[in-house]
Structure formats: structure tokens, C-alpha cells
Amino acid sequence: MSDVAPGAGSRAKVSRSEGRLGGGGLRIYKPGQGFYTRVGTAIGGGVLVVAGAAFVFSELGGYIDPKAPYALPVQYGAAVVFLAVMAGLLYWVVGLNRRINDFFIATDGEMKKVSWSSRRDVIRSTKVVIVLTVLLGTFLCITDILFMLFFTAIKVLKAGPGLERIFGSGS
């Protein structure tokens, strides 16, 4: 018996189980690709899963009588079941699902193509943004005070006692 399908030329047969998960079992789909995107997603998802388990634990405390002998086992059990189910789902998303992992791989490839600014350029740009924000805030504050003084002078606006103390204008 040959590994080549009749009439297929030099193409080798591929079993269905190899095509799904890379040989069966719980093997990660394309393990060497999209590493940083998968790790980042796994860390973020792990934080959310742990926070969700803590939430389940704390919320069940409000519904169960704390003096009951089954209170802690139910709380811990529900949190552990939630943790296990969500960890399995996270593993499926990060390691097994082809469409999602192809997206992670493409995202990782695109991130490698990005032209990142140098540290010096980022610091310089940040300083410019901070200075312009302070200048714009100061300009708007002065403009607001001038408008308050103008509208107070033409008796359209009655300024509070704080404005009179600051600028000495009275009515």
C-alpha cells in the first residue's frame, strides 16, 4: 500500500485527525507563531478569569448563610468550577482555535512591521503635548475669567462674591 493517493501525483495523504489539531490530542495550533500575542492574550484572560472567580466567590457569600456547614465548600467549589471552565475556554481560544490563532499570528506579524519611535522621540513628543495642554488650559481659564468680567460689567451675569474679592469689581 502506498501513501500517495491514486491520480494525485506526488501529493501525500493527510488524515483528518492530523489536519484538525496537528496529530491529535491537545496540541497547540502553530505553536511557534504569534507567541507574544498569544502570551499577552493569555495573561490578560488569566487576570480576568481569576477576577471572575473571586467575584463568584464573594457574590455567593451574600446568598449563602455563613453559619451553614456547606457555605465554604459551595463558595470554593463554585469558584474552582468557574476557574476550570474559563481556563479551558481560554486554552481553547489561545491554543486550539484556528481562526482566532490565525488572527493572533497575523497581528504578531503586523506588529513586527510597525516602525516604533525611539525613546527620545516619545519623551520629546510627550513634553510637547504636556506644555501645549497647560498653555491651552491657561488660555481657556483667562478667556473664561474675561468673559465673566465682561458679562458682569454689562449686568448680564451676576458674579459670585469670590470674583469680586479676586478682581475688586463690585456692583
- Cα dihedral 80, 82, 84, 90, rounded to 10, equals -150
* Domain spans of the chain, in order of start: 16-113, 119-167
Query: pLDDT digits over 84-120, tens only?
Result: 999 999 988 888 888 888 888 888 888 888 888 999 9
Is this structure's pTM higher than 0.85?
Answer: no
Q: For residue range 46-60, list pLDDT tens digits in order.
A: 999 999 999 998 888
Residue type, 62: G
Buried b / exposed e along 120-155 (16+ C-beta atoms within 10 A): eeeeeeeeeeeeeeeeeeeeeeeeeeeeeeeebeee
- Cell numbers describing residue 123: 519623551
